[in-house]
Structure 1
Amino acid sequence: MRTRRVVVSFLPIAVMLIPMIPAVVAPAEEGLWLFNNPPEKLLKDKYQFEATRPWLEHLQRCSVRFNSGGSGSFVSSEGLVLTNHHVGADALQKLSTRERDILTEGFLARTRDQEIKCVDLELNVLVSIEDVTDRVQRAVAAGMAPAKANQSRQAVMAAIEQESLDKTGQRSDVVTLYQGGLYHLYRFQKYTDVRLVFAPEQDIAFFGGDPDNFEYPRFDLDVCLFRVYENDKPLRPAHFLKWDAAGVADGDLVFVSGHPGRTNRQNTLAHLEFLRDRAFPFTLDVLRRREVQLATFSERSRENARRAKDDLFGVANSRKARLGGLAGLQDPAVMSRKAAEEQKLRDAVAADPQVRAACGDPWQDIAQTLRVWDERYVSHQLLERGWAFNCQKFEIARTLVRMAEEDAKPNAERLREYRSSNRDSLRQALFSDAPIYDDLETLGLADSLSLYAERTGMTDPLLQTVLAGKSPRQRAAELVAGSQLQNVQLRKQLADGGQAAVHASSDPLIALARTVDAAARKVRQQYEEQVEEPQRQAYARLADARFRLWGTDTYPDATFTLRLSLGVVKGLTDERGQQVPAWTTLGGAYQRAAEHDNTPPFALPKSWLERKDRLQLDTPFNFICTNDVIGGNSGSPVVNRRGEFVGVIFDGNLTSLVWDFIFTAEQGRSLAVDSRAILEALRNVYRADALADELGR
């Protein structure tokens, strides 16, 4: 067996032979694989498939990352990008008005001049990968104090990113893999002129609503189409996916190429217990109160419901996902399996003197960081993560305050999000002219200030300064009403004026951001130096132990960067022992609606009711497969052996929610919209033949 160390994407991989002992056996479908380290042997041995370098490079360059969160793919030679409706929802919400609710009612541009430019959407396409591990690790000397190590590591990463940006002009991010075991430089082509082409009505995109969310069978046309422009003309991408109009069959091998957000599969047992007992319960408390708040606000008027719709969907979706993850962490069977995996690694390390000497006791070191983290967790979430200030204007204010201060420092010493290499993306978000609604802002800020008071007590000195002698509700109303940060021109003036302009500003939310910034920075520094950096070093030693013992023919935890997963189209057995087919059909959607008297959330849109007789009702609608996916994979293309588009991932079932921590393919499934349903709906519901004809061409 061999270990592999990647130097540059799609170049030969160096080989080093070392003694091996058996690794923990994983399901064949498990893996969020790096494109420069795919599971070649597994694909050849089990599926008789060779993922050639041209095949991988083509799929890589077809794949798109939505910086608002999610994935997509180029599906035409004229720059069409296909993703989920719920991935595009942020853009749809920002384009919607009281008079034209695109998020709810849908949209179709029948000509190019009808395509609508999105407010602040940024798309990234991965161009290349370079291994910079040696340079990053050389910056941290043995025995260096954690604070100095963190400073040195961040400085060299900033230098690498800036050098790459200056050389290529491409977005350049140093990505931490294997929790510090490897560092890769990812270069992206960035696109910011993105225009809406098609979105179905939300009633069919999210048919079944929350009751059916993370369930199967499903009947959702969860798709959205955008077009990328460059120099005011449609982009002609060198790579785009061909369209398989015939679709897939039961048992077919399929691949998912997307950007999974975050997994914790390499975490120690103690770390998972911290998430179970501390982090997840607090997060769920915040999500539940926000969901109630937004639902109540939405019930007051139709316009309120429109304004809050995307936020409410996001919060409700996160709440259900976190509940599923927590259920997994509370399952003794899951934790027993994680304990067994950890013990296997401990035993292997103990049995190898060289590995033991190099590894030390990272489990104990991680446990120590968790004790520190437990003491500071709530303060960090409230102050640095901003959970005490749930208000878009406050986020803008904090960005302006910090950007002014960080710009006065050398680039290598800045907070990562304010480095020069990230400046274009930062300014695009900061100067977005997306609508801001003061009533919704006041509601969110009042409740989060109340959360702050509940967690710290009303006598907390900083809280008293923040509230200025008023109740959370009164103070929130005063701050939001007095702020003018909805004015984009004012934001630009403050940003261009630097520290002098920001310090002179009388805007109350700028003043609030200045007031809390020292405390927020302090808790961030404590986290980075006493938790994050020691954890990174300990996990890096664990990664090194795995590499030495079992090689690098494995995958790292997800990092919202491009990954490849493999699986097969396959039905499942439900809790009653009944076989559930791998497909639903368009006709099944009408049957499901009839069972609920066509009432929300099982109400089909008017267009679907009026054009039922035009549809082939036996057309496959949604299908399930065993591919390994996680949050962030939404919108990822599903492709066949030929690299052709056969579907788009939009969800996982309830059993898959534990995949944050452990992968199981017995009942867990990924859900996709079938390529055949997309064509059928475009042609026979929306009469968008020209758009359907463009797909894959």
Structure 2
Amino acid sequence: MKLLRLLVLLLALPVAAQQGGMWIPSLLKGMNEKEMKSLGMKMSASDIYDVNNSSLKDAVPHFNGGCTSEVISSQGLLLTNHHCGYGEIQAHSTIDHDYLTDGFWAMTMEEELPNPDMEVTFIVRIEDVTNQVLEGVPALTSEEDKQKKIQENISKLSNSLPKEKYQENKIRTFYEGNQYMLFVTETYKDVRLVGAPPSSIGKFGSDTDNWVWPRHTGDFSLFRIYANKDNLPAEYSEDNVPYTPKHFFPISLGGVKEDDFTLVFGYPGRTQEYLPAVAVQQIVEVLNPAKIGIRDAALKVTDGFMRKDKQIKIQYASKYASIANYWKKWIGESQGLTKSNAVAVKRAFEKDFLAKAKKAGKMEEYGNLFNDFDKYYAEIEPYQLSRDYFIEVAIRNTELLTIGYKLYQLEQVYNTRGEQSFTDRKNNTIASLESTYKDYSKQVDEKVFEQLIALYAEKSPAQFVPEELKNKDYSAFTKEVYTQSKITSYEGVKSLLSGDATTILEQLNNDKGYQVIKAMMQAYIEKVAPKYQEISLKIDALQRTYMKGILELSPKDARIFPDANSTMRITYGQVKGYEPRDAVYYEPVTYLDGVMEKYVPGDYEFDVPQKLIELYNNKDFGVYADKNGKMPVCFIGTNHTTGGNSGSPAIDAKGNLIGLNFDRVWEGTMSDIYYDPSICRNIMVDIRYVLFVIDKYAGDKRLIDEMKLVNVKKK
């Protein structure tokens, strides 16, 4: 049975037929369009992407550089995930106006809240510019020279290719450098918060249910795009008006059922579907366990404080969620890769690849690929592991060190650019750190530091750990640092940064906290980064050759999609349940009944608002209930998604909005590396639950009236 499964998976590489894949929307005509129609789609490829006419792509902006969103009204109303807008909801929250706990609903446009530095970006058109980017590159021999020439060409093209003055040219690489595409974009910078449910709805289940199915989370929030009087991008102004979109999504109340077609549009961040087997094995056995261990320690400390102190809970809510997200993802990813035997499947694919290369007379070009991969991944392992420890401990999870890192960068500005640049950077740093310290707790950070600095010193490769941090009593060392360092408060940092450049640098270098990050930085820069970069370039060159070989040696009708790189993609599939393990089957739809079954009064993850309980008990679901009178909450499908697809619209066969993507099932988080259609599922909020919360729970009927509802059933 295992052998049969292995053969099935091998034949499915790189992706199973008609499932999986993150496709460039401008290139859908042909195979993709046929596949989508075979799955039930009623639209054409031109309905999805068109330059000359409005199409679905015109309603799907990139949300603040990290998530996806969709326009759902003629007045620029924008829908995305609650967790995508979480930072802004938190920023507007105080003890007296706790929008995280209570939710926020603007009942008029005048009540909508501006968000400094928030932006959304639309794609105007996509063009292939591979030949222009690679001009002059093949004649070069050095990998460094090739990359330098490519960057020079990209810079020149970005500045010279036609666009409007309010637009931007962005060129991105695909297929590991074998293709380059131009994206012409428009970015709107006046985006205001319109509505958000309380976290007990928008984050229901919190970290326990994260990456888990069955799911019962109303993960949505609402914003609005504003433009100038000409409907063009503009900085925030009271004179701005709601944006008029080229297209917005009609919203279907028809519901979903098993095998319904689903299209997910979005900006998936990063996948590595074509990694060699040796790289996947290294991720599972070495790299993921290290990162999981670091975040596990940080989360346990932070969670303990958040449960006891409401102020700390508000301060750390967004940070905790961010840290926990990938901690849990890495756990599921490793489990999925192990369970699906991904390393063995990839080794079998590599064996088949070499057979094809031999048959095509291409062994001189491809014959040593996998031996070279084995060699360089073995060489890079200690450097990659040390890099991961440094980034996780110093840059992402210990705030004193993260702030210290910014101060270290300030010192480097002085060394490389002089005093004027130093002064400018210093003033910007002081201003930017004010918001950082608003959400900082010395007592939380001190306990996190104590745990993580010990892990860094004792678990990362010893040859790269600075001598100053070895063989310590880390409890006493932590107390010494947090007692003596001025980095533990905003006033302290401002005092460190007062005076002329010489005085400031002397004060920084005498600070105990700064001394720690500087020692870590110098060890990383001198001992880790150069060798890591050197070996990475060699691996990148091999990966590009491997990708070229896959494209060259595969049949013409092979389904080979480019890895995600935060550019616009579509992925299509169907509403599907799944069997994660023997004798276990999960239905594809969850209901409000499940929220009440999980309800734990007073629990910060599973509490439920009293009004939602009343609506449930009274079965007051309005037109949003299904045909059986139940209130749908979430559903799952076979769409191939990843980070960046948070907030992506889930679209039906006719182009109507039916849901909002926000997660994946735990068993299928490995899909960034290896997509297995038997267990990989994306999780979506049913749009009917979103509308039910806006209408029945919040009573913000003006928003419902703004939208175009289709397939509405009578009560």
Is residue 699 of structure 2 the alignment partner of residue 687 of structure 1? Answer: yes
Equivalence for 2:549: 545
Equivalence for 2:458: 454
Classify 1:287/1:488 alpha carbon distance in 2 versus 1 (closer, same or farther; 3 Å).
Answer: same
What amino acid is the match of 1:373?
A: I
CA shift for structure 1 position 206: 2.5
Classify 1:25/1:238 alpha carbon distance in 2 versus 1 (closer, same or farther; 3 Å).
Answer: closer
Alignment partners' CA distance in 1, 2:462 and 2:200 = 44
1:446/1:477 contact within 8 Å kept: no
Give runs of aligned pairs for residues 618-633 of structure 1, distance below 5 A.
618-633=630-645
Query: In structure 1, the residue corresponding to 2:653 is in which secondary structure?
Result: coil
Which digits, 9 at most, give the CA deviation of each residue in 1:599-630, with x for residues without a partner?
Answer: 55332112312433233551322112221112
Given candidates 204, 207, 211, the residue that maps to 1:214 is: 211
CA shift for structure 1 position 533: 1.8
Equivalence for 1:71: 68
Equivalence for 1:11: none
Given candidates 556, 565, 589, the residue that maps to 1:559 is: 565
Give runs of aligned pairs for residues 304-343 of structure 1, distance below 5 A.
304-331=312-339, 333-343=341-351
Equivalence for 1:27: 17
Is residue 59 of structure 2 the alignment partner of residue 53 of structure 1? Answer: no
1:394/1:513 contact within 8 Å kept: yes
Which digits, 9 at most, give the CA deviation of each residue in 1:413-455, with x for residues without a partner?
Answer: xxxxxxxxxx9xx999958846341424545445443333224
Query: In structure 2, the residue corresponding to 1:81 is in which secondary structure?
Result: strand
Equivalence for 2:85: 88
CA shift for structure 1 position 585: 2.5
Normalising by structure 2, report the TM-score.
0.81
Given candidates 256, 259, 269, the residue that maps to 2:267 is: 259
User: Which range is displaced more, 228-237 or 158-167?
Assistant: 158-167
Alignment partners' CA distance in 1, 2:463 and 2:382 = 19
Alignment partners' CA distance in 1, 2:587 and 2:530 = 52
CA shift for structure 1 position 220: 1.6
2:575/2:588 contact within 8 Å kept: yes
Query: In structure 1, the residue corresponding to 2:85 is in which secondary structure?
Result: helix
Give runs of aligned pairs for residues 286-685 of structure 1, distance below 5 A.
286-331=294-339, 333-353=341-361, 355-383=362-390, 387=394, 390-391=398-399, 392-398=402-408, 400=410, 433=435, 435-439=438-442, 440-455=444-459, 462=466, 464=468, 471-481=477-487, 484=490, 506=508, 517=521, 519-522=523-526, 525-526=529-530, 529-550=533-554, 551=556, 554-573=560-579, 575=581, 577=583, 580-593=586-599, 601-612=605-616, 613=618, 614-616=620-622, 618-685=630-697
Alignment partners' CA distance in 1, 2:65 and 2:152 = 27
2:297/2:452 contact within 8 Å kept: no
CA shift for structure 1 position 398: 5.0
Classify 1:317/1:366 alpha carbon distance in 2 versus 1 (closer, same or farther; 3 Å).
Answer: same
Classify 1:546/1:154 alpha carbon distance in 2 versus 1 (closer, same or farther; 3 Å).
Answer: same
1:384/1:521 contact within 8 Å kept: no
Classify 1:584/1:372 alpha carbon distance in 2 versus 1 (closer, same or farther; 3 Å).
Answer: same
Alignment partners' CA distance in 1, 2:271 and 2:214 = 26
Normalising by structure 1, report the TM-score.
0.83
What amino acid is the match of 1:278?
A: V
> Percent of aligned positions with the same letter in both sequences?
23
Which digits, 9 at most, give the CA deviation of each residue in 1:256-284, with x for residues without a partner?
Answer: 01122222210000111111122111111
Alignment partners' CA distance in 2, 1:437 and 1:186 = 38
User: Which range is displaced more, 83-92 or 328-337?
Assistant: 328-337
Classify 1:618/1:454 alpha carbon distance in 2 versus 1 (closer, same or farther; 3 Å).
Answer: same
Query: In structure 2, the residue corresponding to 1:622 is in which secondary structure?
Result: strand
Alignment partners' CA distance in 2, 1:333 and 1:521 = 37
Query: In structure 2, the residue corresponding to 1:611 is in which secondary structure?
Result: helix
User: Which range is displaced more, 321-330 or 529-538?
Assistant: 529-538
User: Which range is displaced more, 379-388 or 205-214?
Assistant: 379-388
CA shift for structure 1 position 197: 0.9
1:72/1:83 contact within 8 Å kept: yes
Alignment partners' CA distance in 1, 2:322 and 2:15 = 36
Alignment partners' CA distance in 1, 2:706 and 2:101 = 25
Equivalence for 1:420: none
Given candidates 123, 127, 149, the residue that maps to 1:126 is: 123
Query: In structure 1, the residue corresponding to 2:173 is in which secondary structure?
Result: strand
What amino acid is the match of 1:368?
A: K
Equivalence for 1:245: 253
Which digits, 9 at most, give the CA deviation of each residue in 1:62-113, with x for residues without a partner?
Answer: 1122346322111122222111112221222222223322223211111122
Which digits, 9 at most, give the CA deviation of each residue in 1:461-487, with x for residues without a partner?
Answer: 8452899x9813432454354664898
1:72/1:637 contact within 8 Å kept: yes
What amino acid is the match of 1:437?
A: Y
Equivalence for 1:7: none
Alignment partners' CA distance in 1, 2:136 and 2:483 = 48
2:17/2:559 contact within 8 Å kept: no
User: Which range is displaced more, 286-295 or 386-395?
Assistant: 386-395
2:464/2:527 contact within 8 Å kept: no
Classify 1:458/1:536 alpha carbon distance in 2 versus 1 (closer, same or farther; 3 Å).
Answer: closer
User: Which range is displaced more, 253-262 or 447-456?
Assistant: 447-456
Classify 1:502/1:694 alpha carbon distance in 2 versus 1 (closer, same or farther; 3 Å).
Answer: farther
Query: In structure 2, the residue corresponding to 1:335 is in which secondary structure?
Result: helix
2:508/2:514 contact within 8 Å kept: yes
Alignment partners' CA distance in 2, 1:482 and 1:335 = 45
CA shift for structure 1 position 640: 1.4
Alignment partners' CA distance in 1, 2:582 and 2:342 = 22
Is residue 176 of structure 2 the alignment partner of residue 187 of structure 1? Answer: no
Equivalence for 2:4: none
Alignment coverage as a number of residue pairs = 654
CA shift for structure 1 position 325: 0.6
Equivalence for 1:98: 95
1:625/1:669 contact within 8 Å kept: yes
Which digits, 9 at most, give the CA deviation of each residue in 1:347-400, with x for residues without a partner?
Answer: 1112111x4344453323322321221131233234467636732423543554
CA shift for structure 1 position 45: 4.8
What amino acid is the match of 2:346?
A: K
1:401/1:514 contact within 8 Å kept: no
User: Which range is displaced more, 44-53 or 297-306?
Assistant: 44-53
What amino acid is the match of 2:66?
A: G
Alignment partners' CA distance in 2, 1:30 and 1:380 = 32
Query: In structure 1, the residue corresponding to 2:560 is in which secondary structure?
Result: coil
What amino acid is the match of 2:564?
A: A
Classify 1:545/1:84 alpha carbon distance in 2 versus 1 (closer, same or farther; 3 Å).
Answer: same
Classify 1:295/1:178 alpha carbon distance in 2 versus 1 (closer, same or farther; 3 Å).
Answer: same
Equivalence for 1:43: 36
CA shift for structure 1 position 203: 1.1
What amino acid is the match of 1:561?
A: T
User: Which range is displaced more, 83-92 or 40-49?
Assistant: 40-49
Classify 1:291/1:28 alpha carbon distance in 2 versus 1 (closer, same or farther; 3 Å).
Answer: same
Classify 1:437/1:180 alpha carbon distance in 2 versus 1 (closer, same or farther; 3 Å).
Answer: same
1:180/1:536 contact within 8 Å kept: no
Classify 1:501/1:185 alpha carbon distance in 2 versus 1 (closer, same or farther; 3 Å).
Answer: farther
Equivalence for 2:3: none
User: Which range is displaced more, 540-549 or 231-240?
Assistant: 231-240
Alignment partners' CA distance in 2, 1:688 and 1:222 = 17
Q: Which runs of 5+ in 2 are unaligned?
A: 1-10, 228-233, 419-424, 623-628, 710-715
